[in-house]
Amino acid sequence: MSEAEQLEPRKLTYLAAITEGVSEVLKEQDNAFLAGEDVAGAGSVFGIFGGLLDEFGPKRVIDTPISEKGIIGLGVGASATGCRPIVDIMFMDFMGECMDEITNQMAKMRFMFGGAVNLPVTVTTMSGGGRNLAAQHSQCLEAWLAHLPGIKVVMPATPYDAKGLIIAATRDNNPVFVVLSKMLVAEEGEVPEGAYEVEIGKAAIAKEGGDFTIVAHGRMLHEALSAATQLKALGVDVEVIDPRSIQPFDTQTVIDSIKKTHRALVVHEAVQFGGIGGEIVAQIQELAFDYLDAPIGRLGAPFSPVPFSPVLENVYIPNADRIVEKVKETLGL
């Protein structure tokens, strides 16, 4: 390898970073395993676990029956008895099939046992629209999970964070949901070799700025960054914050930004009504009201199931142009 090649940053796709993160976990932790529908032979419907069956064998990479309730039950039971499982729910929409296991077992068991039992279970799942998979395979339901005490929820938007958050999740002694975006699988970014953690509960400042704060997670981070580029041409210097972790949420990083910019917009792909954006807006209102020079904006999807029609789906999902319009509206431009 030439010196130039050695100095060039190592880049992976979001998909490859997920695969590498899980591989690092299975190498590091002898009591870790991966289980879910089609995770072994097919490497999952999106290929994010491709090659792991060959690398680790059928005792550690396991295809399960089609039973989301059973998959989550496996994760809860195995983690409570000393394993550190990674269980996959193919689409986030399917959480409805196993919500009793999540809300009444996984989230509460450590509390109800007085801390005598750890539950180091990691749940991976794919969320979001954009692939014309219709109303039952395109939802963003992170607010469901974040509302449950005992559950942690992370939403990586970059390959670096996808690998680092998966590793951090599997090292945590609490249940952690790693909510991935199906529209980011081809996104490329710098990813170091070996195992590293991205701290759960710590936001990232994806772009610094002094005039306006945009808080956006998951796929919407990239739309916010695109909007920031457009707004720069209008003389608006936007700061973009990627929460990365929805629960716990890094309130302080957002408040620090508001103290500098005095204006904010919160963006998410999920339905706007009842979405996590409302909680973020409330925290800003409670903790940084005196620093605000304008009402805090919110942008999410309409109160409707995700359309199957590509034309309608494009209208349904927030994008950079709509972010720009919301910022201009706040600034009176």
- Indicate which residues carry an active-site annotation: 68, 137
Task: Choose among 317, 304, 320: nearest CA to 128.
Answer: 317
Residue 174 DSSP code: S
> How far is residue 264 CA from its own chain's centroid?
21
Whether omega before 307 lies within 30 degrees of 0, making that bond cis, reads: no
Rounded to the nearest 5°, which phi and psi values hold at 176? -130, 125
**Length of the chain as a residue count:** 333
CA gap 210, 320 in Å, rounded: 19
Task: Choose among 163, 147, 318: nearest CA to 249.
Answer: 147
Mention every residue, 6+ apart, whose C-beta is less than 8 A from residue 77: none
CA gap 309, 130 in Å, rounded: 10
Question: β-strand 188-190 against 238-242: which pairing, if any?
Answer: unpaired
